[in-house]
Amino acid sequence: MSEFAGKHGLIVGVANKRSIAWAIARAVAAKGARLAVTYQGERLEDSVRELSADLADPLVLPLDVTSDEQIAEVAARCDQTFGGLDFVVHGAAFAPREELARPFLETSRDGFRVALDISAYSLVALARATAPLMEKNGGGSLLTLTYLGSERVFPNYNVMGVAKAALESSVRYLAAELGPRAIRVNAISAGPIKTLAASGISGFSSILQVYRDKAPLRRNTETGEVADAAAFLLGPAGRGVTGEILIVDGGYSIVGL
């Protein structure tokens, strides 16, 4: 029997077929999971619904992660439809393009607020709304996505790096609080991948080339590799892991020069 047979999950952050969140959705669905998938705004609805048509009886819902009301509505629909949740994937991240283009010193107060709200606080809000659903099922797993820019300075990553640092700290605090409820909280720090979010980072192709030149595996990270790591953390094989940042980047993070 597949490891996710009879399991139900919520996937937040799918934008298109290149999204890491979508790769994770496909990986766990192939192992038997039934999913709820959310989309951000009407612009992405058609794309997400088209993708989700390949899943087994999916629940496709709108979600603006800055709205506690919408988060509560999504949790309620998952509860009504599935009777609980076994795992949640948080793939939401955003910073205004102009905040990534200008020096970090020039980050606006509003741009900082938006980046931290969508990219970091939304994990806390999502955890608060879905923890009762996972607890109903005897526990669960919450997974988010981060990047090495949380620890090191990357060109044109700026306020997003600060947001990812806040996200990783949130993972640890949530893991400590939710552990007694049998809910694990982890993150995957993936190497750079050509996603919709990455398109807003100037010079992204140069970053990809540096990874190809310097990473021990001498290649860029593939979404399928991240998805397989996610399946490990979300499923029974990762049952003893919580509060961790699992790096999937071909070894780039270990290299000094």
Closest CA to 75 of 128, 142, 6: 128
Catalytic residue among 39, 121, 157, 173: 157
Residue 139 tokens read as 């526990």
| CA 218/CA 198 separation, integer angstroms | 20
List the 8-12 sheet strands across, edge first: 59-62, 34-39, 8-12, 87-90, 140-146, 183-190, 245-248
- The β-bridge partners of 59 are 36
Give the active site residue among 39, 147, 211, 252.
147
211 is catalytic: no
* Cα-only R_g, the chain: 17
Catalytic residues: 147, 157
